[in-house]
Amino acid sequence: MRNKFKKLITALAFSAVLLSSLKVNASSVIHDVKERHDIATGVQHVQIDRFTNNGWIDIEVLKLDTKNSFSNLTPLISGQGVSKRAVLSDMINSNGAVAGINGDFFETTSYPMALGSLYGDNKLILSTPEVAFSRNSFYITKDGKGGVGNLNNNIIVTNIGKGINYSINALNKISKPYSAISILDSNWGAKSPGNSIGTRNTEVLIVNNRVVDKRTGGVSFQILPGTYVLTQVGTGLDSLSIGDTISINYGGYENLAFSVGGGNILVSQGSVLNNPKFSKTRAPRTAIGINSTNTEVLLVTVDGRNNTSIGMSEQELAEFMKSIGSHHALNLDGGGSTTMGIKYSGDEKATIVNYPSDGSERPIVSGVGIKSSAPVSEPNYLKITPSEKSTFIGFSYPITVEVFDQYHNKLQVNPESISISSESGNISGLNFNPSVKGPGKITASYAGITGATDVFVHSEMKELILDVGSLQMTNGKIHIFETIYGKDDLGYKKKINASQVQFSATEGIGIFEGNKFTAQGDGVTGVITANYNGVIRNIPISVGTQKENIFGFDSIENATVSVNPNDDTKITASVILDSETQDENPSTALVYSITPQKEAQSASINYKGGISLGTAQYVGLWIKGDSSGGKVIASFRDANGKTGSAVLIASVDFNEWKYVEALVPASLNGNIFLDKLSITISDEVELVSSIKFDGLIAGIKLPLDWELAKGSSVSGDPRNFQGETEGASRISITSLSKNGGDNTQKLNHLQNKNVAVIFNGASPETMAGINAGLKFNGNDVHNIKTSNGTAFITLQSNQNGIRSANAAQWKPFMAAMENADYKNIVIMMQHDPENLTGAKEKSFFFDIIDKAVKSGKNVFIVSPGNTNSVEWLSGYRKVSLTGYGNAVLDINIKDGNLSYVMTRY
């Protein structure tokens, strides 16, 4: 299947060409990305990723040059005939085609039936049904003229000796109640229906234009090439006798070179139809068209009903067919039937290049194929494909070199006869080992033919990124380092296989087996070191916990009670201090009263704001039981608001003091809070009792020793320094605290700057108090502001993406990113673009960023985050601002040189 996330940036260079050739619905098209592939002589496959106001549309186009004598349209049917369905890829393989699409609409009866015509390779395979049920067809006449419309079914069988004509309902089609006369030939299948459609079914076998057998309610006839069977449930064939001589006249079909049935006409005589019967639903679509000079046939599929393509309405499909040159066009079967397959030269089987909406190919009755009879000739060109176009020094990349002739036949050659070279690195066999940074080429030659492909070479790895930045574990716990990246000197990341990384740990803290670490010991700290070709990453680790006294339960100031069900006729509760204790201070008692109920009842002590447990891994406390048989549960919450619970006692079957412990749920992270202690009674009893708590402790994760972890390799950003401010263009960007925090220092810092931006917005009064050359809120609607060669782009976004927030901003954003006058670009978004859910839009966005970076632009993307920080990623600076803490991003530009720092107070 096609690579849905292919590198879009390559195609950006062709945008002007694409947009000029694809003007359909120009107001709704944001961008088109096209890739062309020659399949056979006169046959081209074009992949189009269309980005519109409504979403992405994946379009596949097959173009057939009808002037090419080696390639032509061919009908596709199952290898078992039209009475059986088959998937398109099997049809392409069995019919010797190089490519194809699904064809006509069909009924899925016991004998599947395509509804319209099918003609090709000098034979009629399917006729249209009788006039009352006639359907549109796309056709090409023997003199090469294309058209769309009804093909009248005027097939006549004549009994020459008796002078009787028999009007034929259809060729190779039968449908209930089978009362119309149909003619079946070997394209139907191996056998006629026989008595499978009823004991009254009459069948007449014709061989060499003579009736040789006749059966009513009999077994099936074998249908060999050159033989025919007339079939009808009724009396219409009674006049035919064995020995009668017959003739068959196919009428207007004899003037055809090709035809296929379909649905609505989309384009006729160069005009897009506005048919009220057009389906307005966006769905997968298939269509066929021909241009005004009858020199190019267009086979089209449009994907839909999936996360990457929204599909088209029939009106949109009609307009698209017109836009790519169709003078006539017909809608074919769509939905789950929409399929395009290509049998690439050298492959044994066809490949499906679109995404069928059913998740796999749907068996169909007919298809439209393309055959090529071109001979194999001398080598003509090379296709060079490295495993990756974006490469890194220190890695090896396999190269595939294919040799093709002038007809696009793939030739089998000795790989040792191919010479490969590159000024960007060395070649070892069929592997490229980059060594020179920047854009480059890989060149290959064979038999006097030379070809080349572009590559980009990044530096060697400068920094390692592990899946965790630290570890706090307990004895025996395991961590597997699976996701490992290296980062080059521009912040671009490359995934590294864990088997290529050497791991080690401080002695006595644990052991490594490959990338699997098992913690050992208790109460120890140290460091884990990952080493990739001398690039080091150290992370601190601690194993074990330390007990800390948290709360003596000697105060109920922040304690309240709750009951479930909330009905004081069934259950009541109160919280008091009690003198019975484990130390000299009071304990806390939960006093409760319950009546017999079928459902469980619970009473709880709730602590306002929670009791802070730090980074607790477990809790321990004393409980004085009441032999009630109840279950005691602790409820926790972490700093992110995530909640969890742990059972302290499954059944209170004691009435003395007992020390108990329970693990904090592993799903909770960071600072943990104890919010509630509860007792639940499931028995139907009447009870007045109390349960007491004392001496809460927490098993706190051991602190990490960050000093030990110093010495990691880092990919430093050469522009991250405090540049000269005298005579510089000074830019300051910050977020304000919205919860009553003091913003004085940040607002003072913005004064007298060339550009002052409040990323999360401020009131008009606040903005009026800032003295700056250019000042604005970074959370406004989309706009582009400029100052001294720097563009400030505000992009509206939501969790689904940029388009869904405001599609109209995409075109001006793209234009700004390509504007040579903007050397520095600051993009402000209220959602981190790396977390957007629209995968294709996200990929497209970052390809644009990548192109801008590689053209020499300095790009900053500002979005909300959990920390005030700047990270260098893939050539751009990712700026996170929280609004908390006094932090300002300062950018200075002097004499064209940019520097930046995150200033903190």
569 has a pLDDT exceeding 90: no
- Scanning 448-508, the segments in alpha helix (DSSP H) are none
Structural domain boundaries in the chain: 9-62, 63-151+256-372, 156-249, 379-458, 469-544, 547-701, 729-904
Cα Rg of the chain (Å, integer): 38
- Read off the pLDDT of each residue in 877-882 and give the average, rounded to a whole number: 96
CA pair distance 662, 667, nearest whole angstrom: 14
12 has a pLDDT exceeding 60: no
CA pair distance 411, 404, nearest whole angstrom: 6
Band of residue 251 on the pLDDT scale cut at 50, 70, 90: confident
Mean pLDDT, rounded, of the chain:
94
Bridge-partner residues for 114, per DSSP? Answer: 106
**12 or 410, which is more confident?**
410
Q: Please count the residues of the chain.
A: 905
In this chain, the answer to whether the domains covering 379-458 and 469-544 adopt an identical fold is: yes
- Read off the pLDDT of each residue in 285-294 and give the average, rounded to a whole number: 99
328 has a pLDDT exceeding 50: yes
In CATH, what class is 729-904? alpha beta
Bridge-partner residues for 496, per DSSP? Answer: none
Band of residue 133 on the pLDDT scale cut at 50, 70, 90: low
- Read off the pLDDT of each residue in 172-188 and give the average, rounded to a whole number: 95
1 has a pLDDT exceeding 60: no
Q: Given this model, what pLDDT does residue 621 score?
A: 98
Strands 431-434 and 425-428: antiparallel
CA pair distance 347, 92, nearest whole angstrom: 12
Query: What are 192-221's pLDDT values in tens digits?
Result: 999 999 999 999 999 999 999 999 999 999
Could you tell me the pTM of the whole model? 0.82
Q: What is the percent of the chain with per-residue pLDDT over 70, rounded to a whole number? A: 96
- Read off the pLDDT of each residue in 454-471 and give the average, rounded to a whole number: 96
**Burial state string for 116-155 with b = 16 or more CB within 10 A and e = fewer than 16:** bbbbbeeebbbbbbeeeebbbbbbbeeeeebbbeebebeb
Q: What is the percent of the chain with per-residue pLDDT over 90, rounded to a whole number? A: 88
**Any residues with CB less than 8 A from the CB of 301 and at least 6 apart, and which?**
59, 60, 101, 102, 284, 285, 286, 338, 339, 340, 354
- Read off the pLDDT of each residue in 532-553 and give the average, rounded to a whole number: 96
Band of residue 820 on the pLDDT scale cut at 50, 70, 90: very high
Query: What are 643-656's pLDDT values in tens digits?
Result: 999 999 999 999 99
Band of residue 456 on the pLDDT scale cut at 50, 70, 90: very high
Collapsing DSSP to helix, strand or coil, 277 comes out as coil
- Read off the pLDDT of each residue in 448-454 and give the average, rounded to a whole number: 97
CATH superfamily of 379-458: Macroglobulin (MG2) domain (2.60.40.1930)
Phi, psi of 454 (to 5 degrees): -85, 145
Q: Given this model, what pLDDT does residue 689 score?
A: 97
| 16-20, 112-116, 221-225, 763-767: least confident range | 16-20
- Read off the pLDDT of each residue in 629-655 and give the average, rounded to a whole number: 96
Q: Given this model, what pLDDT does residue 442 score?
A: 98
Bridge-partner residues for 781, per DSSP? Answer: none
Q: Given this model, what pLDDT does residue 131 score?
A: 55
Architecture of domain 547-701: Sandwich (2.60)
CATH of domain 469-544: 2.60.40.1380
Q: Given this model, what pLDDT does residue 5 score?
A: 34
DSSP 356-387: -TTSSPPPBSEEEEEEE-PPP-SEEEEEEEES
Band of residue 130 on the pLDDT scale cut at 50, 70, 90: low
CA pair distance 125, 185, nearest whole angstrom: 8
> If you count DSSP H runs as helices and E runs as strands, how many of each does the chain have, helices first?
8, 69
Collapsing DSSP to helix, strand or coil, 256 comes out as strand
371 has a pLDDT exceeding 80: yes
Query: What are 698-744's pLDDT values in tens digits?
Result: 999 898 999 999 999 998 899 999 998 999 999 999 999 877 778 99
CA pair distance 320, 288, nearest whole angstrom: 11
Which amino acid does the sequence have at 19? L
